[in-house]
Amino acid sequence: MGEKQQPLDLLQGTLDMLVLTTLARGRMHGYAIAESIHQRSDDVLRVEEGALYPALHRLELRGLLAAEWGLSDNNRRAKYYRLTPAGRRYLESEHAAWNRMVTAIARVMETA
Amino acid sequence: MLQERISAFWLRVKTLVRRRELDRDLDDELQFHLAMREQKLREQGIAAEEAPYAARRQFGNVTQLKETSRELWGFHWLETFGQDLRYGLRQLKRNPGFTAVAVLTLTLGIGGNTAMFSVIDAVLLRPLPYRDSHQLVRIFSSSSLISAGPVSAWEFSEIKHQTNVFQDLALHSEWSAKLTGPGDPAWAYRDEISPDVFRLLNVRPILGRTFLPEEAQQGRNHVALISESVWKSRFSGDPNVLGRGVDLDNTAYTIVGVLPSSFKMPEAFAFGQKWPTVWVPFRTIVEGSSKYREHRCQVIGRLSGGVDLAQAQSQLHAVAQRLAQAFPKKNKDLDLRVARLEEEVGSGARPALLLLFGAVGFVLLIACVNIANLVLARGAGRVREIAIRESVGASRLRVIRQLLIESLLLSLLGGLLGLVGALVGIRGLLAIAPQDIPRLGEVHIDLGVITFAFALSTIVGLIFGGLPAISLSKVDLNTALKEGGATSQSGVGSIRRRRARSLLVVAEVALATVLLVGAGLLIRSFWKLTTVDPGFPTENLLVLGVTPTAAKFNDDRQIVEFFNNALARIRMLPGVREVCVTMVPPIRGGGGFFLNPGTIEGQPSGSSSEPIIMDFRAVSPGYFHTVGQRLMVGRDFDDRDNAGAPSVIIINEAFARRYLSNQNPLGKHIRAEWIDKSPPGEIVGVVSDVRDVYLNLAPQPGMFVPYMQFPQVNYVVVHTAGPPLKLATAVRDQIWSVDRNHPILDIMTVEENISNSVAAPRFRVVLLGAFAGLALVLALVGIYGVVSYGVAQRTHEFGVRMALGASQYDVLRQVVGQGLVMAMSGAVLGLAASFALSRVLTNMLYEVHPTDPTTFVSAAILLTCVSLVACYIPARRATKVDPMVALRYE
């Protein structure tokens, strides 16, 4: 793929999860997804906004998202993403795995 | 998972097609985001001019993101490959001189190799056009007298019953026959074949049928199959040819089928086929008949699946031993051997062809070295470009790949042109190739040859491009990017490169030396061969082949009469000095027969009674005079020595020396025993030795008998006053005026015979000489290139030296000296290698030893002179350097 690896694969997986979860609530364009993540995480999660787009394109390539062009609120041309059925199924399975991992980490952190 | 992969793949394919549109979409998407963010920031209070920058900062590296996404979408490697390709083409166009030289060199090298390979492919590699031809074998007898001879029907039957390794066996027996019937009398092969042959070789007639088993019996066997060429030429392709007749040796046969012209018997591949073939059924030889134990059959077999040759051979050995025990007198030292047809066909030509292939491979290697040097030299000027590319992020692998693509472009282009050139080259090769190389007619460019050319081009490109690429891509970014680092004149890299180039030159000079020595040896050998004195004058001798077959004449007397008539008439032609007949004309391989030395009167009793093969001819009176053999003692044959008179013999000096030294040969008798007749004879004369069998064969003991007592003569030899071929038609007409019914073949001159007999050595000399010459030129160019480049690099240094007082001569000596060291090292290496390798040529050298000192020394001297010239020219340029100019510039 690209010449440079993302420094943390974990980060990439996390970002994918966030994107998929956000889109579970409906179709959005890239900016809206970024805003949504910012708001819901209370600005804790600071990822370069631009890093979102490779993630979106990768997910689209894998068939977990579908995209189409439309007009935004202020009549500008924007690309809207939505979850595909495959994406929905993937989200469900990963969500369960994700929860398990988070719980385990929390438990480890508590006992330390 | 698979579903994902498929959909991803399709998206990528679509991307390829709609590149521009996707780029625009990507751009739009990111711009949209930036615009929204900008607006949001302005709403939050950031100043209007500041907002765009703030948005971008928050966003990150737009360009990089675009690249990442683009790489995600497309076939990344394909696109970069396309880029490299276009870049490489531009580079080549920008340096037309370099490109032209490199492509030309490659065309010659790859083209030569391709042409040689196509010959090797046809002669050695391609399977014979039979089903599973690797399974086909030939079985033959072997004894101390004849190493590869025919098999008898008895042995065949025993083989069939006592072995289990052959799934099929068939007999055939081929002999020359006179073909009459429609058309002029001509010669043909009459091949008696058993019906198994058709199944064995998987041949089907294009018309009619093959033989039935009952046609092997006496009385039913006058049916024949003709070849397609005979059908077309003598029967005009008559569709009703079945049932028409054809005559072989004045026996009538009915045609029952036509075999396709693509079909040939296996021997035809090995030994070529001069005449067409007519097939007749093999008459079953029953046990008890006189022919049962005669060795007269060829045996073809097919090995069973999974059986290897050694197994078959050991079973045949066992059969032979059992037969030897059962019949010790006849079969005592007879062995049965088996050999694969495919190997047999090419075995004669294999050593020479492989030698030439190796030689042309050397030439290609030398060409690669030259081009590698060129690439290195040019590459030194590209160090800065490579440094820039690596500093903006290109990996070393990417740089190497791009350089390799440039080299591959060159080599593939050279390969393509070489393939075209090989078409011409093949025609030239075939024109000078000796006719006894089998399957020459099948040499053509097919898929295998094209694949070879392609593979060779790729390998060559990787070789001469790879090493320089690896060396060049290892760039020290620091020094390269500084001022004055554009062409790396100093630094570790350049010294390594210089050494690499010198080593390459040493290597190519060594290779060229090996070729020179090889060619030199062959040239000396050929010279000796063609300047050997045959012992008789070879000009103005015309030879015509006329074979009256016994079937036409009722007895020998008629043959003698026929020839006497013909000779008389020919003698009266203007321009004819002398004419005679003989069994075998000069330089045609001689006629051999077995003589038991014990039958020579005057031999010490107890001398071995093993028969030996010696030269034997039946000749007419005047033969010796015609051919120029001198009568030493005694008398020539004359008209008194006819059928009723006492048998007489003339021997040559070699015979006399060998068996009758210290005795007077005249008057001695020989009780000769040979196959059909055995007249003893009295020696009446001794003639001088001549080399009339093969030029490179010293004269063997030989004997002559008068043809009137032994009328097996086939050739008329005419000593003409002027150019021999001019009289050919007249002589032929005279012969036909006696009796029209004789095919006349092989009209040629003795000089042509001689030329043909050295066709094979000549072929080798011409080709190896050409390769060696080419190699020498390439090596010269290589030396010149490296020395010249070195001079250009060190202009500054020479300027300094001359300013400090060095004379022009000093500079000259330095440059030439260094160049000579390179060349001489290569020469010494090459001579050592030649010493080890030249034994390969032993069988091809006539009276020249593989380590012949003259050749080695001459090659060394030639190389030294050539290298001197190659060094001197650029050295002169070094001396012309103006110190002031050189000192001013780096």
For B652-668, give the DSSP string.
EHHHHHHHSTTS--TT-
Residue B282 and residue B220 share a domain: yes
List the domain boundaries for chain A. Answer: 9-111
Please tell me whether residues B694 and B794 are part of one structural domain.
no
Residue A50 has its nearest CB partner, among B62, B73, B393, at B62
Q: Assess whether pLDDT exceeds 50 at residue B675.
A: no
pLDDT digits (tens, 9 = 90+) for B69-98: 777 766 677 778 888 889 888 888 888 888
Output the CA–CA distances (angstroms, integers) from residue B352 to B388, B781, B831, in the order listed. 53, 29, 21
Domain shared by B552 and B417, yes or no: no
Which of B72, B390, B401 is most worth mutating to test chain A (most A CB atoms within 10 A of its CB)? B72
Of A48, A63, A64, the CB nearest to B59: A48
Q: Is B229 found in the same domain as B364?
A: no
What confidence score (pLDDT) does residue B678 get? 52
| Dist. CA B779–CA B785, nearest whole Å | 10
In angstroms, the Cα distances linking A53 to B13, B400, B668 are 21, 32, 114
Identify from B65, B77, B399, B401 which residue to disrupt to test chain A contact, counting A C-beta atoms within 10 A and taking the largest count.
Answer: B65
Residue B305's φ and ψ, nearest 5 degrees, are -60, 140
Residue B526 shares a structural domain with residue B558: no
Q: Within this chain, do residues B355 and B279 fall inside the same structural domain, yes or no?
A: no
Distance CA A87, CA A19 (A): 11
Contact state of B33 with A31 under an 8 Å Cβ cutoff: yes
Checking if the pLDDT of B673 tops 60, the result is no
What confidence tens digit (pLDDT) does each residue in B526-564 have? 988 888 888 888 888 888 888 765 445 556 777 788 888
Q: Are residues B415 and B465 in the same domain?
A: yes
Cβ-defined contact of B67 to A34 (cutoff 8 Å):
no
Give how many domains chain B has, as a whole number.
Answer: 4
Return the pLDDT at B454: 94
* Predicted confidence band of residue A6 (pLDDT cuts 50, 70, 90): very low
The CATH number of domain A9-111 is 3.30.2350.10: no
- Mark yes or no for CB contact A1/B36 under 8 Å: no
Question: Do residues B651 and B701 lie in contact, with contact meaning Cβ atoms separated by under 8 Å?
Answer: yes
The encoded tokens of residue B152 equal 């008898």
Distance from B76 to chain A by nearest Cα, in Å?
Answer: 7
Judge whether B374 lies within some domain.
yes
Domain, as residue range, for B257: 144-333
| Same-domain pairing of B394 and B299 | no
Q: Among partner residues B25, B69, B393, which is closest to A3 by beta-carbon distance?
A: B393
Residue B116 lies in a domain: no
Sequential DSSP letters for B80-91:
HHHHHHHHHHHH
A12 touches chain B (CB under 8 A): no
Q: Which of B279, B302, B333 is the last residue of a domain?
A: B333
**B161 and B199 inside one domain:** yes
Whether residue B523 is found in the same domain as residue B553: no
Residue B283 has a pLDDT of 82
Dump the DSSP string for B272-292.
--SS-EEEEEPPPPPTTSGGG
* Side-chain-side CA neighbours of residue B743 (13 Å): 18
The candidate with the shortest Cα–Cα distance to B408, out of B375, B382, B365, is B375
Q: Are residues B712 and B641 in the same domain?
A: yes
Neighbouring C-alpha atoms within 13 Å toward the C-beta of B420 = 8
Q: What is the pLDDT of residues B221-266, one digit of tens each?
A: 888 998 888 888 888 888 888 888 888 887 889 999 999 888 888 8
Q: How many CB pairs under 8 A join A and B?
A: 76
**Cβ contact, residue pair A2, B71, below 8 Å:** yes
Provide the pLDDT for residue B485.
47
Q: Are residues B588 and B657 in the same domain?
A: yes
Residues of A in contact with B12 (CB under 8 A): 61
Q: Is B814 part of any domain?
A: yes
Compare B341 and B599 and report the one with higher pLDDT.
B341
Question: Does the residue B252 lie in any domain?
Answer: yes
Nearest to A49 among B3, B59, B67 (CB): B59
